[in-house]
Amino acid sequence: MFAVAGTVPIQNFPLVAGEVFLEDDNIRIREMRVPVNRGTPALLAAAVKACEALDQGAPFGYLVGDIGLGDGSRKLYEYMTGHLDKFDFQSKHGTGLKAITFHYLQPDVDWHNRVLFTVKEMKKAPILIADAGFMYAAKMSGKAAEYDFFTPDVGELAFLADEEAPHPFYTRGFVLHEENRIPELIARTYKYKNGARCLLVKGKQDYVADRHGIQATIDSPMEEAMEAMGGTGDTLTGIATALIGTGMEVMKAAIIAARINRLAGYYAKPTPATRVMEIIKHIPTACNRLPV
């Protein structure tokens, strides 16, 4: 089993922990429902669909409302420091936590460090995955190398590569990064120890890399419109998390997830106005078309 921790864009949404299901374009966690537009709900919806195709149980979610004020995120950080190590008791199947993905959370270095410490204290540390705001905090804390998997887009890679940038907004010089600088940005990311063990750089082409450089490039099928769509990076991280949750090796999962996400996008025939749920619906078909 794997878990996902993140926020939903509803101010008073309470902190909820439990298995996550997908019903009528909404994710359901306990009795709470959230529309799938982008962000952590999109990640979880994609993971649910991938789990269906992989014949896996439902993902476990830790969700809270936060519209950017950070109040919900801090509540969730605090909850995780007190509860993550008890995950085995929460897991229905008692299989423990194989992987955990931290997602749209307000970047907060102090809370990040406390959560990371809690995870490291677990009897069997899960595979650690970070994306979005939590990845920013992981990099800011100087502890990126303790993670197994980051899923930045090209702009976020430029942020990881800039050892002084506190946020992608302040990335020096390489913010309007050309794709042909990606090998250089990856090398710089690892030089300053700001990369996880494996990186999946999402973009026009997807790159899977480690500290030795680019190990795989996935570029087909290509749907240009996906760049404009909110949530397509979240679905990719969700699919990768689901694959890693089966016990698959991280780099292999990254490569297969990139292919599945692209294929689901291809089936959706998107325009820049397409909503991400249209892609999520095609994930099971895409999973079944690829040898997983």
Partner 1 sequence: MSFSGFFKQKRSETGDNQNIDRGILVFENTSEVIRAESVLKSEGWKIKVVGPPPEIRTGCDLVIEIPLIEELNILRTLEKAGVSPLETVPVSSPLLQPVDLFQNKDFGKYLMIRAANMKLTIDKETLNIVNVSGGGCPDVPYLAQEMVGKTMAEAPAPREIGHTLCGYALQLAYEEILRRCSL
Residues that bind partner 1 (CB under 8 A): 7-9, 37-41, 66-70, 72-73, 104-109, 131-136, 140-142, 153, 155-156, 159, 164-172, 175-176, 224-225, 227-233, 271-273
CA proximity to 98, closest of 123, 119, 125? 125
Give 55 or 178: the residue with its C-beta nearer to partner 1: 178
Give 152 or 245: the residue with its C-beta nearer to partner 1: 152
- Name the 3-class secondary structure at 104: coil
Give the span between the Cα atoms of 234 and 231, in whole angstroms: 5
CB of 246 to partner 1, least distance (A): 26
Exposure class string for 102-123: b at 16+ Cβ within 10 A, else e: bbbbbbbbebbeebbebbeebe
Contact predicate 140/105, CB 8 Å: no
Give 69 or 125: the residue with its C-beta nearer to partner 1: 69
Give 134 or 207: the residue with its C-beta nearer to partner 1: 134
Give the span between the Cα atoms of 146 and 138, in whole angstroms: 9
Contact predicate 1/97, CB 8 Å: yes
Give 66 or 87: the residue with its C-beta nearer to partner 1: 66
CB of 63 to partner 1, least distance (A): 11
CB of 272 to partner 1, least distance (A): 4
CB of 267 to partner 1, least distance (A): 19
The CB-based long-range contact list for 123-126 (8 Å cut-off, 24+ gap) reads: 123/85, 124/96, 124/97, 126/2, 126/3, 126/96, 126/97, 126/98, 126/99, 126/100
- Name the 3-class secondary structure at 106: coil
CB of 156 to partner 1, least distance (A): 6
- In this structure, the number of other CB atoms found within 10 A of the CB of residue 224 comes to 10
CB of 249 to partner 1, least distance (A): 26
CA 145, distance to chain mean position in Å, is 17
Give 224 or 249: the residue with its C-beta nearer to partner 1: 224
CB of 89 to partner 1, least distance (A): 28
Give 202 or 256: the residue with its C-beta nearer to partner 1: 202
Those residues with Cβ within 8 angstroms of residue 281's Cβ, 6 or more apart along the chain or in another chain = 49, 268
Q: Parallel, antiparallel, or unpaired: how do β-strands 99-102 and 127-130 relate? A: parallel
